[in-house]
């Protein structure tokens, strides 16, 4: 039977500004996404079972999750209906990206499922419609249709590709005993939000967007999350002490990442965190992401 195997890459937020709550209850934000080489793997094939048989391995917490509530299941089910694909599907998701650490694993898995089904069936779909399906699944999912480096506005689901910068090594440190639910992080942050504009902050954001060398990392969640988990603040300080050019909380946390100019420095720095789960990886350009994901002109 026809099958396909795809990676589902993680992301970090190089910059994450939370501007306030919107009328629809979501938060207005602006962020710069960057894909990194850490990834899950999704295998998808046509099956006699109907409609979708999903298996998750590599994460005991997710292995027992009801299939219909999983983002991969939902992505396959929604696109399958859109394409009017009548056959069954078998999917095996192998998890490596830590769950609930701000690295976008679930959103990336969902986007990989959308791309994999398009490749498997050879069908096409308008880019705007595909982006709409992705946005319904989650705010970060549209970004993973293209990857690389991109500006996200609105809920983070309105995506504008940015020029790629030089390839860097990334050390991700994921404490095994700390998880930060996104809902909690937003609640903690709400007390700190201000309506006063900050032109200096906007200038730094623009510099990070358009400078070929990138710019200083920043994340509005840090003040709220670090207050509750001083260990995460200590990890950031240690990454900088180990020679990182910059370090930041990944998304809403609880992973913290450092940017290093070469992999040898990143590997040496990883030894400073013997009690934590660490991943030495690299940034992925949009062209690299496209080559890895392949498939039709889906976006």
pTM: 0.90
Q: Please list the ranges in the chain whose pLDDT falls under 70.
A: 1, 25, 60-66, 191-215, 295-299
Please indicate whether residue 195 is annotated as part of the active site: no
In the chain, alpha helices (H): 60-63, 71-83, 105-121, 127-137, 182-190, 199-210, 221-228, 230-241, 263-270, 286-293
Core vs surface per residue 41-50: b (16+ CB within 10 A) or e: bbebbebeee
All domains of the chain in start order, with CATH: 3-163 (3.30.230.10), 169-282 (3.30.70.890)
Kindly state the helix (H) or strand (E) to which residue 284 belongs, with its residue range: none
CA 36 to chain centre: 9
Q: For residues 188 and 102, what is the distance between their CA atoms, to the nearest angstrom? A: 16
Residues 78-102 pLDDT 10s? 999 999 999 999 999 999 999 889 9
Please indicate whether residue 265 is annotated as part of the active site: no
| Confidence at residue 28, expressed as pLDDT on a 0 to 100 scale | 82
Q: For residues 285 and 149, what is the distance between their CA atoms, to the nearest angstrom? A: 7
Output Rg (C-alpha) for the chain, integer angstroms. 19
Of 17, 40, 109, 140, the catalytic one is: 140
| Confidence at residue 299, expressed as pLDDT on a 0 to 100 scale | 44
CA 246 to chain centre: 19
């Amino acid at each position: 039977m026809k099958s396909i195997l795809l990676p589902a890459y993680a992301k970090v937020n190089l910059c994450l500004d939370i501007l306030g709550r919107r009328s629809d209850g979501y938060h207005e934000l602006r962020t710069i996404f960057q894909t990194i080489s850490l990834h899950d793997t999704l295998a998808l094939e046509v099956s006699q079972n109907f409609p979708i048989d999903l298996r998750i391995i590599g994460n005991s917490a997710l292995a027992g999750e009801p299939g219909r509530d999983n983002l991969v299941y939902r992505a396959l089910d929604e696109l399958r209906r859109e394409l009017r694909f009548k056959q069954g599907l078998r999917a095996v998701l192998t998890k490596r990206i830590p769950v609930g650490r701000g690295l976008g694993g679930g959103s990336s898995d969902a986007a990989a499922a959308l791309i994999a089904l398009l490749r498997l069936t050879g069908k096409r779909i308008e880019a705007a419609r595909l982006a709409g399906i992705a946005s319904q699944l989650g705010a970060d999912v549209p970004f993973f249709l293209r990857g690389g480096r991109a500006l996200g506005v609105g809920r983070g689901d309105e995506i504008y590709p940015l020029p790629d910068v030089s390839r860097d090594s990334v050390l991700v440190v994921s404490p095994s005993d700390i998880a930060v639910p996104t809902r909690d992080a937003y609640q903690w942050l709400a007390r700190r939000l201000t309506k006063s504009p900050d032109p200096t902050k906007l200038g730094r954001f623009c510099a990070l967007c358009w400078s070929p060398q990138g710019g200083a990392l920043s994340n509005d969640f840090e003040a709220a999350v670090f207050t509750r988990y001083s260990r995460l603040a200590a990890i950031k300080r240690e990454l900088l002490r180990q020679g990182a050019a910059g370090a930041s909380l990944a998304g809403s946390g609880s992973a913290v990442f450092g940017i290093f100019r070469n992999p040898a420095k990143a590997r040496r720095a990883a030894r400073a965190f013997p009690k934590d789960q660490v991943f030495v990886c690299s940034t992925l350009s949009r062209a690299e992401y496209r080559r890895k994901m392949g498939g039709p002109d889906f976006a």
